Amino acid sequence: MNPNRIISDFKQRKLHIDFLELSLVQNTPGSRAISYKGKGYVQQTDDDFLAFTLYAEQTLNTDFSQAINESNTLRTGELYPKGAYYNLRGTASDGTIWTAEDVLPVCDWHAEYMNPIVRGKLSSMLGGELLPEPKSVALHFFEKSALPMTGREAKFRAAACDFQIEKDDNSFVVRARSDEPLAAHFVMRVEEALRFLLAQAVAPRAIVHPRCVELVSTTFKSSSVRLGSPISRGTAAFHVNSWGLFSTYLEFVIRKTKFGNWNPCSGYLHIAHEASANSLDAWGIGLSVAVEGLASMISIDQDKAEKDKRKAENEKLKKLRDFIIKQISSRTRLRPYADRIRGMMAGLTEVRAVDRLKWLSDHDGTRDDLVSAWKRLRNRGVHPATKGEVDVASLDFQKMIDELNAVTVLLYHIIFHLIDYRGPYTDYSTRNFPESQYPPAQPSPFQLKK
């Protein structure tokens, strides 16, 4: 297998791999698993997906009538059961073994043939042997991005790895090498750090490991994300400090994430990214929800004194809750409202997002005016009070844009606090978006009034 040739064809959307043997086996344990075997090929479609065609010469545990009966058991609105998925394995004409998982096949049965033609799309496919603890990887991105680079190449060290970034006009490659095995789910973590740094939904399309290559179909993404990056492009700090910020975020998600999906911080950030590609109202709601989610990750019990204070406060609130419920339940005319009051009181001892943000502001992790902007933006979207007689076009959209920019800064302040970042960032809450330093200083009374 020649990874460079395969990646070149894949990048140009002309990938085609012929298989001397293809097998598709149902993801069901035991001897009753359905399977198809024969020759076939995998090729890249015009819309940039990987798709396979298998000309079945052998089938097991299925026929035309059984296939029809099984298709009738699927119901609209339900997720596919595990037994609906198949695993693909094939030997290419050059001898390379390719595999793919979680395949949903579609069978074309013809009256004149005993066996079907099986087709389907692949989210990804792996060629070669994947080592259990690789020490190097190369991620190929088939998209244009404004990377913090003055030339075609950048080198730096992050997360105990030597990184080398190479770019051309419409793509870039991220190479990482370490003396020790790479962290678990390392490719996912690098993707998360790049999405954070660039405020762009980048995803590797080809991943080269020491003895194998993984190809990934395109994914749907918004094309006009308006959320600014933590350090604005075109500034001196973007070129000087960005890879340090990348390193800090990468080390955070590696340290805090023990599973194969995104860290929750990256998930909330993705909500803000995608929401900003839509209307101002959708952007405001998505951004506000993302901040609320990120706020839940703030630990406010940093020392024994704060833990003791929180415990004492919770005890008082519990007594207050029990007293109110007891009073309501003991009165005949109020008893019908007891369950409703009990539900309202259930969250009395929970630490609210605004409480966590207030704590962060009190500990110099953000500014009071940004928290106030978040409350206004959130209430406008989640608890709208505008009546039908108000002309929406007459509303102050400049004020809303200012709030969106202020809450964007709050979002990044929370992330900076979580990942323990110290350094420059872009202050979108101030016109002309100047450079500022984290941790922030509280604004002056004049700025607050203004």
Together in a domain, 326 and 245:
no
| Domain contains 279 | no
Helix axes 397-419, 353-362, angle to 10 degrees: 70
Supply the DSSP symbol for 13: T
The helices-and-strands tally (H runs, E runs) of the chain is 12, 16
Domain, as residue range, for 30: 3-73+82-125
| Domain contains 154 | yes
- Counting every residue, how long is the chain? 450
Number of domains in the chain: 3
| Domain contains 294 | no
| Domain contains 141 | yes
Pairwise CA distance, residues 36 & 76, whole Å? 26
Query: Average pLDDT by consecutive 10-residue portion of the chain (450 residues)?
Result: 92 96 93 95 96 96 85 83 94 96 94 89 96 96 93 96 96 97 97 97 96 95 90 94 98 96 97 94 95 95 75 85 87 87 77 93 95 93 60 74 97 98 97 95 53
| Domain contains 354 | yes
Together in a domain, 121 and 179:
no
The pTM for the full model equals 0.89
Together in a domain, 9 and 56:
yes
Decide which of 260, 288, 312 is a domain's last residue.
260
| Domain contains 267 | no
Together in a domain, 320 and 408:
yes
Q: How far is CA 376 from CA 248, 370, 399, in A?
A: 31, 10, 11
Amino acid at 159: A
Together in a domain, 154 and 233:
yes
Peptide bond into 434 cis (omega under 30): no
Together in a domain, 350 and 371:
yes
Pairwise CA distance, residues 409 & 427, whole Å? 6
DSSP 75-141: -TTSPPPGGG-EEEEEEETTS-EEEEEEE--EEE--TT-SS-EEEEEESEEEEE---SS-SEEEEEE
| Domain contains 317 | yes
Together in a domain, 445 and 308:
yes
